[in-house]
Structure 1
Amino acid sequence: MVLVLNRTYFPEGTQGTLEWNGTIVCYTIELPWLHNQQRVSCIPEGEYVLQKRFSPKFKWHLHLRNVPGRDLILIHPANDAKTELLGCIAPVTKHTGIGKGSSSRKALEKLKALVYVALERNEEVKISIQSKK
């Protein structure tokens, strides 16, 4: 399974559309592209393997493996990239501004429902991050 994240970059943040098989799963918000600087930039475009992860703060969420120059890049709930993200990706149900969205927890539940089923079938799940054409 390969999810495709199409990004649009702005100086204040990064907006995305996350699709599977050509159907929109959710939208995303991220920090702006600042040359992959830790904790202040979104991650580089590329393909990353996803895995389930649990933490007391975010409960069950997703972890992107082997991001160059970065560690612990997650997909977790947040509605404001600038105040709630340190390089991670937040799913949202709609964009409300640059780097801002709404109903992030609801969007994460929808994404997890899709991804966790594939992982339970022992399928490899990847996310392909690219610039919107």
Structure 2
Amino acid sequence: MAPTTHWLWYKSADCKMVLLLSRTYFPEGTNGSLACDGQFLCYTIELPWRENKKGVSCIPEGYYLLRKRYSRKFQWHIEVVAVKNRHLILLHSANNALSQLLGCIAPVTELSGAGLGLQSRRAFAMVKKKVYTALEQSAIVSLIVQS
């Protein structure tokens, strides 16, 4: 599929749930605010922007699909699908981007610094419940990442 068609598909009217991640970049980490249908859900932390380098950078801004995923390490979590030049980008709990993330996104209840947050398990459980409920109703769930 051509990249243009790929991005248009993400933006299609078929999307039943759209999460919007609005970022602020810092040298030590990236902080964000996650909303769904205009309603604030939680904050997020990520690695700093380092040109989309694997393991040390947050992912590029853009449109993505989300899906359920299971691993022994994180149990049931959320995968961000089709990130350019990256794989296994996840939404999972973490409170320190530099020591606990390799490019993933961690929902947090409070921000405590650049790339730092509090009560991530609580925030992630809430986001996961919302996303999983939509997916179980056969909805397409997308994520828009912007600054």
State the TM bucket, normalised to the shorter chain.
over 0.9
Instruction: Output the CA distance in 2 between the equivalents of 1:97 and 1:9.
Output: 12
TM-score (norm: length of structure 1): 0.97
Question: Which residue does the alignment assign to 2:5?
Answer: none
Aligned AA (2:25): Y
Question: Which residue does the alignment assign to 1:15?
Answer: 31
Aligned to 1:34, the other structure's residue is in SS state: coil
Structure 1 unaligned blocks of 5 or more: none
Question: Which residue does the alignment assign to 2:58?
Answer: 42
Please give the root-mean-square deviation of Cα atoms over the aligned residues, in Å. Answer: 0.5
Aligned AA (2:113): G
Task: Report how far residue 109 of structure 1 moved.
Answer: 0.5
Within the alignment, does 1:115 sit opposite 2:131 as a pair?
yes
Question: Which residue does the alignment assign to 2:109?
Answer: 93
Q: Which runs of 4+ in 1 moved over 4 A?
A: none
Instruction: Output the CA distance in 2 between the equivalents of 1:119 and 1:125.
Output: 7
Task: Report how far residue 22 of structure 1 moved.
Answer: 1.2
Instruction: Output the CA distance in 2 between the equivalents of 1:20 and 1:91.
Output: 13
Aligned to 2:44, the other structure's residue is in SS state: strand
Number of equivalences: 131
Instruction: Output the CA distance in 2 between the equivalents of 1:77 and 1:70.
Output: 19
Within the alignment, does 1:60 sit opposite 2:93 as a pair?
no
Aligned AA (2:76): W
Task: Report how far residue 103 of structure 1 moved.
Answer: 0.6
Aligned AA (1:130): Q
Q: Percent identity?
A: 56
Instruction: Output the CA distance in 1 between the equivalents of 2:124 and 2:76.
Output: 10
Instruction: Output the CA distance in 2 between the equivalents of 1:56 and 1:85.
Output: 16
Instruction: Output the CA distance in 2 between the equivalents of 1:24 and 1:53.
Output: 24
Instruction: Output the CA distance in 2 between the equivalents of 1:7 and 1:29.
Output: 9
Question: Which residue does the alignment assign to 1:69?
Answer: 85
Task: Report how far residue 5 of structure 1 moved.
Answer: 0.1
